[in-house]
Structure 1
């Protein structure tokens, strides 16, 4: 590593880290990245974020004083957008918004974006590139061209992901990540196994997401909620309302409890596409839950909301980690989840929550009823949930692990160029 590519601060060296993000919305991957950048040792690492576009995430970065550049990178895989043939014929330009068209345009412009990124890296005298998603390749390719270390943080399973659409097979991605990275980080052992097989190479490191538990332990203000009668119990699903989250299974479980637990209401917290939201609303109406299920949209007051609910539920088909589960557990709430990957590493079944098989709405309803009907069990599980998060999912612990990975990547990088030349 060239000494000239490291900024001196008060006699100590701060390595410049180019951070590649993929989306301007504030969901799990972006919130976790924001937490990391907020806690990383600024005397040792100086982050600069590149991102496709502006949005709530970039606003949060600016508020935290983290420098960023928009429009330099682009995703190579996109969320599917339902389009009927009739709609396309009426408005042909809509074809340009099809995920396959967007992917083709992204691949076409990839060499030019990489060149621009290389120039930015030379100007910034970057020492290490840290990519926070599988859906952007630009950082890995630019790091290879500059012969500087690349750390790839994979937070999503791409192959088989119902919420991503690609015209190409995706079996090449794990091998590409390994060949273009000093270290590949996954946020759960389940995701590592899914991507790299049962015997993951030593190059792959598992770092569970961590949270600042203090934000959820503190007393919270009462959040704005729909008008509810006294004695109402609240269960909630939180996160992007997408196909992969299988919120329809949750609605079916809510229908099973409609008559036996009339005091129970359900909150769906998060944004979703118009098509999927319409399907959810149709299911809610058909099952007679119109006055019992409330779609709240995106909310920025999650600690207050989690303090107000009784149980958090995840019915995802594929969940690489499950950040909202540990947030609810930090607030002292027991949780119910499907066995969808990451949640199996978070929840000890029968101790701090319950696990059900994917798609089993009857089991989800049974576990919910068990928690609501047994106050002693509810209190014990809530306490155990909080203790588990404090012990195993601490933010500072996660950040220190990532810093050690950065240190190792920088230490073992060979023939690092002098980017000032």
Structure 2
């Protein structure tokens, strides 16, 4: 592929706020072969995504925020439909001006909008599915749209996500699984005796620190984790729990408030520590004696790979894509979702088995991490890109509505 004929990809994201899918998007952009591809991102101005794009030197075009969620309320569905129309109208204009070879929609909502916005153009739209579709009439409509649009290709982040997306429709070879990948170089094996988070929190010698890292929302099962911790904290005084992260969306602020109230009501304020969002996640994981992902549903669970790379053992629920990462009793431990008693028993048991934790951690580092590296992810993604047909008129330049990213120094 010559420099004069780079393939242009327009990435579409329905929100400007950065959570799991947006972190994957930024990883894709960092790893894109600039000699072969040029990228432009369409995203709203709300949140930190455009700031991150500027830091990475990635140009972007601003689109309205797409306000749409699964709901049964007809009044909300009407307002969401209006939001879709606004976003699709702007997308169609931007895509026509940007003239990409194909569109990579980084979320389901972006995929829906981009597919409708490109009707009549023949342009390929790649849906990157980071979510497990719930049982809802709208899920049936979403599947039907993707299936009937022969221009649509789907990349799912796990086998579980792919199965849930396809439902009973015969998508055939149009649905591909490319597992997310972690930059393992950023998550080195922990140094014996070093635990900076324990020191920061002022934990006594001999403490056993359990960490939960990620977005603070109901899907992560944090309320149930607190229920389990409250069952054992009096008889296991060496246990401490650190919850690392923040709410991303406004409706999640109430969930955080409920968690704080639960901690205070159960007398756990000196044993449960909310740190907020942190940038030193590797240091956090290296300080943890056990990483817990107690999700009600989880499309993949990249945080588990990051913890394994640091040598931190993991305990997670048997949902979604998690069993594709964790083999129970060999590379970590799995429990059923929503079973606070089983979780409590497993936390207490593992806190007394440092030898077993060390053994399982070493197996996970050796056998799991290489399969889910950023290099594996990018290799498979770029191979997939190479199979997509080119659509762009090479004479057309990037739209003047695009804001050029400039790398921070």
TM-score, normalised with respect to structure 2: 0.86
> Aligned ranges for residues 264-283 of structure 1 at < 5 Å?
264-272=239-247, 273-283=252-262
Shift of 1:121: 2.2
1:236 and 1:309 in contact (8 A); partners too: yes
Work out whether 1:74 is the aligned partner of 2:65: yes
Secondary structure in 1 aligned to 2:176?
strand
Q: Which range moves more in the overlay, 110-119 or 280-289?
A: 110-119
User: Which residue does the alignment assign to 1:85?
Assistant: none
3-state DSSP class of the match of 2:104? Answer: strand
- 2:129 matches 1:154: yes
2:15/2:44 contact within 8 Å kept: yes
Q: CA deviation at 1:145?
A: 3.5
Partner of 1:234: 209
Please show how residues 5-404 of structure 1 align to structure 2 within 5 Å: 9=3, 13-70=5-62, 72-78=63-69, 104-136=78-110, 137-160=112-135, 169-180=138-149, 181-197=151-167, 201-217=172-188, 222-223=196-197, 225-272=200-247, 273-404=252-383
> Structure 1 residues 109 and 254 mapped into 2: Cα distance closer, same or farther (>3 Å)?
closer
Given that residues 74 and 138 in structure 1 are in contact (C-alpha distance below 8 angstroms), is that contact kept between their aligned partners in structure 2?
A: no
Q: Pairwise CA RMSD of aligned residues?
A: 2.7
Highest relative contact order (Cα 8 Å, sep 6+), 1 or 2?
2
CA displacement at 1:200 relative to structure 2: 5.7
Deviation at 1:257, TM superposition (A): 2.4
The SS at the match of 2:139 is coil
* Deviation (angstroms), 1:54: 3.5
Distance 1:350 1:122, change over 3 A: same
Whether the 8 Å contact between 1:315 and 1:358 is mirrored in structure 2 is yes
Q: Using the alignment, how far apart are the partners of 2:70 and 2:283 within structure 1? A: 30
Unaligned runs of 5+ residues in structure 2 are: 397-409
SS of match in other structure, 2:160: helix
Q: Secondary structure of the residue that 1:135 maps to in structure 2?
A: helix
Q: State the distance in 1 between where 2:37 and 2:80 align.
A: 30
1-structure distance, mates of 2:189, 2:49: 24
Distance 2:171 2:230 in 1: 41
- Cα 1:145–1:388 change in 2 (3 A) is farther
